[in-house]
Amino acid sequence: MALFDFLEKERTVAGTGFNRWLVPPAALAIHLCIGMAYGFSVFWLPLSKALGIKESLACPVDIGLLERILSSSCDWQISMLNWMYTMFFVFLGLSAWLFGGWLEHAGPRKAGVVSAVCWCGGLVISALGVYQHQIWLMWLGSGVIGGIGLGLGYISPVSTLIKWFPDRRGMATGMAIMGFGGGAVIGAPLADKLMKHFATPDSVGVWQTFLVMAAIYLVFMLAGALAYRVPPTGWKPAGWTPPAANGNAMITTRHVHASKVWGIPQFWLVWWVLCLNVTAGIGILGMASPLLQEIFGGQLLNLPLSFNELNTAQKAQIAAIAAGFTGLLSLFNIGGRFFWASCSDFLGRKATYGIFFVLGLALYASIPTMAHTGHLALFVIFFCIILSMYGGGFATVPAYLADLFGTQMVGAIHGRLLTAWSAAGVFGPLLISGVREYQIEHGVAKAQAYDITMYVLAGLLLVGLVCNLLVRPLADKHFMSDAELAAEKKLAHERDAAAATGSVVASTGVTSPVAVAFGWLAVGIPLAIGIAITVQKASALFK
């Protein structure tokens, strides 16, 4: 037996009676770790003072970009560090696209292990970059290599969960992808405590924090990857009736090869559906803190003052309140992933996205009025709903793809679709910041500078609504023939469960209660702690 034979897909096929509820916590273990990508901004301020410790050491004014990148004698600007955030989601989408087909053949366990090595190895390289004060090492480590780990880790459980939960596709993927949204609520407080622990008069404690978090994440991610199991071909839940028998034309029982989706109109319609939904949400998520501060200013402190009229101490107070607002949005981002994806099992994916666009359009268009009339509570509620639908869009789309294109290669197809996230990750923040800065430069007050932005985002959602309405069931020509499907199953190392055992395996899902409980506690306790910390911070918004 080769050293790593246990990683092969054939070694991950579940036996009769395996409890499918063990798979979601395995997926969550990986997603909660890679989801720290959302919380990386906790490092920006300390890293901007990595050399000066108390104050940043500014680079010479006449220094060039390359010299600034290679310099080890002056501190990095936050704008340089922010490139990491963009690189995360660009390389997430690219790696999910490039390696999605390989994942279907290699299986989720091998992909999960590679993801763990890339994500945690990237943190180690970033630690070296901080220690040597070379930002290009951070970009390479966490941005490029870590970004590849993000992509593989993100899509590794999708196909497996959809096959284990054909009766609850949305709920299953929602549980896992909820973890990606929740990674920051665990990782950011942990990173903050670790940096304070390691901080000295000569160090801000970031490189040590990277190393500790890499070790913790490696343990959790490997445990999750090794816990993955795939169902044998032909498996189905006991008593479940396939959706085609219920007459839902939007759910197919046939399968499309991932290599063909680029030429299918429905794929591009769903691509734009995801891209436009994410563009609207991600731009707001990145600007939530300054948006609240600049619009409401002294009202957050019950003072009749604009943002520019506040003194330094008062601005620090409303910054803390805005941090609570950002935390609250994160909670709705997390909860929306599970809530909306689960609802899509009953409403249908197309109808669920229709709600996202119609309701989102109305909320975005109403926000300027809420801001000008000083309705802080409604303003906060509207944004919480918007962010729940932003997260819900991510969690619902894998099931949408499975409905339209079949389950055989849904992981690879999902990987290709995530290039929409890469595009939105660049376009969304640029759109928000660009429109805002243009207006301020032309004399618009900061409190009104977001009005046009909200209307632009509402317009994007209108386009998304049209794209979603145009989605139709696929024509027969796009599906694999029986011979093509058999060849793909052979590449994926699948064998028919009926041929292997004489009957279709059907798990009742009631075995291994101790293992199920342990798996859920292992991921549930850290998530609960992170949520509790976030709720505590968010409470400042309502004092």
**Rg from Cα positions in the chain:** 24
Specify if 376 maps to a domain: yes
Tokens describing residue 440? 């301020």
Say what the pLDDT of residue 500 is: 40
Asked whether residue 283 falls in the same domain as residue 357, the answer is: yes
Other beta carbons within 10 angstroms of residue 477's beta carbon come to 7
Specify if 535 maps to a domain: no
- Least confident among 108-112, 118-122, 375-379: 375-379
Asked whether residue 230 falls in the same domain as residue 257, the answer is: no
Say what the pLDDT of residue 1 is: 47
Say what the pLDDT of residue 498 is: 45
Percent of the chain with pLDDT over 90: 51
Per-residue pLDDT band at 450 (split at 50, 70, 90): confident
Say what the pLDDT of residue 512 is: 67
Specify if 496 maps to a domain: no
Specify if 291 maps to a domain: yes
Say what the pLDDT of residue 483 is: 93
Asked whether residue 185 falls in the same domain as residue 316, the answer is: no
CA dist., res. 116 & res. 133, Å (int): 25
Say what the pLDDT of residue 322 is: 79
pLDDT beyond 90 at 292 = no
Say what the pLDDT of residue 286 is: 65
Asked whether residue 302 falls in the same domain as residue 347, the answer is: yes
Q: What is the pLDDT of residues 227-269, one digit of tens each?
A: 999 998 888 888 887 765 555 778 898 999 999 999 999 999 9
Say what the pLDDT of residue 336 is: 94
Say what the pLDDT of residue 53 is: 87
Asked whether residue 30 falls in the same domain as residue 121, the answer is: yes
Specify if 497 maps to a domain: no
Asked whether residue 85 falls in the same domain as residue 230, the answer is: yes
pLDDT beyond 90 at 143 = yes
Asked whether residue 197 falls in the same domain as residue 101, the answer is: yes
Mean pLDDT, the chain, as a whole number? 87
Q: What is the pLDDT of residues 281-291, one digit of tens each?
A: 877 776 677 77
Specify if 448 maps to a domain: yes
Query: What CATH number is given to the structural domain containing 139?
Result: 1.20.1250.20
Say what the pLDDT of residue 84 is: 87
Q: What is the pLDDT of residues 377-392, one digit of tens each?
A: 888 899 999 999 999 9
Of 478, 503, 530, the position where a domain reaches its end is 478
Asked whether residue 211 falls in the same domain as residue 277, the answer is: no
CA dist., res. 330 & res. 37, Å (int): 13
CA dist., res. 429 & res. 434, Å (int): 8
Asked whether residue 104 falls in the same domain as residue 181, the answer is: yes
CA dist., res. 338 & res. 327, Å (int): 18
Say what the pLDDT of residue 63 is: 81
Of 234, 268, 285, the position where a domain reaches its end is 234
Of 478, 503, 528, the position where a domain reaches its end is 478
Domain containing 209 equals 14-55+77-234
Asked whether residue 266 falls in the same domain as residue 308, the answer is: yes
Q: What is the pLDDT of residues 382-430, one digit of tens each?
A: 999 999 999 999 999 999 999 999 999 999 999 999 999 888 877 777 7
Tokens describing residue 361? 């359009």
Q: How many domains does the chain have?
A: 2
Say what the pLDDT of residue 186 is: 92
Assess contact for 363 and 463: CB atoms under 8 A.
no
Q: Compute the average pLDDT of residues 86-102.
A: 90
Specify if 112 maps to a domain: yes
User: Which of 293, 294, 374, 369 minimizes the C-alpha distance to 540?
Assistant: 293
Tokens describing residue 491? 């590449």
Q: What is the pLDDT of residues 183-228, one digit of tens each?
A: 989 998 999 899 999 999 989 999 999 999 999 999 999 999 999 9
Q: What is the pLDDT of residues 484-538, one digit of tens each?
A: 999 998 888 775 544 444 334 443 344 568 888 999 999 999 999 999 988 888 8
CA dist., res. 157 & res. 164, Å (int): 10
Specify if 516 maps to a domain: no
Asked whether residue 256 falls in the same domain as residue 351, the answer is: yes
pLDDT beyond 90 at 176 = no
Per-residue pLDDT band at 323 (split at 50, 70, 90): confident
Asked whether residue 39 falls in the same domain as residue 148, the answer is: yes
Angle at 84 between CA 81 and CA 88, to 5 degrees: 165
